[in-house]
Amino acid sequence: MRRRVSAVAFAVAAVVPLVPLLGGCGIRETDVIEAGGPASVQAFFDREYEMLLFFRSSDGGLSPVIRTTRPSAGFGGEYDEPGSGDQNAGDENAGDQNSGDAAGLVPTEKVVLALLAGPRETDRAAGLGTALPKARPGATVKVGPSSAGRITTRVPLALKGLNSTALRQLTCTIAYSQDPDGQVVVELTGQDGATRSGTCGLARGTTG
């Protein structure tokens, strides 16, 4: 009797390991599996007369937007080109030797003012917005000389009331305006005298 039982137990023990092997027939679900890098698409960004603005996406992250400075390419671009800012930026960038050769073709002051002017119709249609308050008309942006990978910028805003998304919008926009790779430490000074400094850190997507 005992031998019979042990024989049955042996048979069961021999067959049981087969069950997981036979199980999972057909195609099963998987977890999310990483497979290679992202797709690099053509965005036709030309630093010479286009600028990169960072708006807030509907999911809370930052979305880069390319905006041209040419009047012919854009529509309704009349209010983001204050003459005074333009000249200031031109003077500043002409004297800057540390920037890359392609950098600064569109003055940073102009870029920041465009950012502060907020998203346009096309941006809003894609669900983009901004966390920054709208700048008063006639406000000026002062960009200090950049040295050793640092740039100081005075913005016509009170920095204290801004959230992190707003600060990152400013930081990234200024960084990518100054450096093609965005590897610049940006020091912001607000109208209220508060200062914030940081890097963009968006390259290769650490959109945290």
Partner 1 sequence: MSSGRGGGGGRGGGGGDRARVRAFGLRTRLLLAFLLVAAVSAGTTAALTYREARNSLLETAQDTAVTSFRDHVQQTGFSLPVQEEGLEEVLRDIARKGKPHPWVVFAEYGSLRASSGENPVSTVITPELRRAARAKPHGSFERVVKDGVPYLTIAMPTVFKASPDSLLPSGLVLYAVMRMTDEQVNVDALLMAGRDGALPGLAVSLIPGLIAARSVLRPVRKLREAARNMGSGRLDTRIPVRGSDELADLAHTFNESAGQLECSVRELREAEERARRFASDVSHELRTPLAGMLAVTEVLDEDADGLDADTARAVRLVSAETGKLAVLVEDLMEISRFDARAAELNADEVDVAEAIRKTLDNRHWTDDRIRTELPDGIRARLDPRRFDVVIANLVGNALRHGGAPVTVRLRTEARSPGPPVLITDVADSGPGIRPEALPHIFDRFYKADAARTRSAGSGLGLAITLENVKLHGGTIHAGNRPGGGAVFAVEIPLHSEDAEGEGAGG
Q: Which residues bind partner 1 (CB under 8 A)?
A: 4, 7, 11, 14-15, 18, 21-22, 24-45, 47, 52, 55, 57-59, 61-66, 102, 122-123, 125-128, 176, 180-182, 202-205, 207
Nearer to partner 1, 38 or 95 (CB): 38
Integer angstrom CA distances of residue 171 from 11, 35, 145, 168, 182 = 70, 32, 16, 5, 9
In the complex with partner 1, which residue's Cβ is closer, 40 or 72? 40
Q: Which is nearer to partner 1, 43 or 158 (CB)?
A: 43
> With respect to partner 1, which residue has the nearer C-beta, 15 or 148?
15
Distances (CA, A) of 163 to 33, 60, 107, 126, 133: 34, 12, 25, 22, 11
| Residue among 109, 118, 122 nearest 73 (CA) | 122
Question: CB of residue 207 vs partner 1: minimum separation in angstroms?
Answer: 6
Instruction: Indicate the pairing of strand 185-189 with strand 150-154.
Output: parallel
In the complex, minimum distance from the CB of residue 21 to partner 1, in angstroms, rounded to a whole number: 4
